[in-house]
Amino acid sequence: MSVIQAPPAPTHDLGGTRFTSLATPTRGSNETAVWQVEIEPGTPPTPHSMTREEVFVVLAGRATVRIGEGTSVADVGDAIVIPTDTEFELSNVDTTVLRLLCCSPVGAMAQLGDDQPFTPPWAE
């Protein structure tokens, strides 16, 4: 059993979205990558897909979730399951920071439009 100490600050910052790598291969996990995502109000979403299933849990705030052609709202405690190879986007519809916990299998890759898939740096 291992305890991986949380970093003192987010590990990646993309303007209005911050990522904190919690358990990833470079931090000591072998099969599952886990990170926290914080999205500021008004941050535009980034449509993308994943090569493996990805699961988010809303920890604070409220999200609009578009998966494929469907749109839903996710509140605190809700789980958002993103199927493989399905375009999705998350938007903060609240006036406070949207905070989510995300889990995916190690090796999952993101794809923006027709670009080549890549491993997000917060999942490495």
Q: Determine the pLDDT at residue 2.
A: 87
CATH code, residues 12-123: 2.60.120.10
Burial letters 67-106, b for 16+ CB under 10 A, else e:
beeeeeebeeeeebebeeeebbebbbeeeebbbbbbbbeb
Instruction: Give 38-89 pLDDT, tens digit per residue.
Output: 999 999 999 999 999 999 999 999 999 999 999 999 999 999 999 999 999 9
> What is the rounded average pLDDT of the residues 20-31?
95
Closest to 82 (Cα-Cα) out of 117, 124, 51, 37: 51
Q: Decide: 11 and 20 in contact? Cβ < 8 Å.
A: yes
Counts for the chain of helices (H) and strands (E), in that order: 0, 11
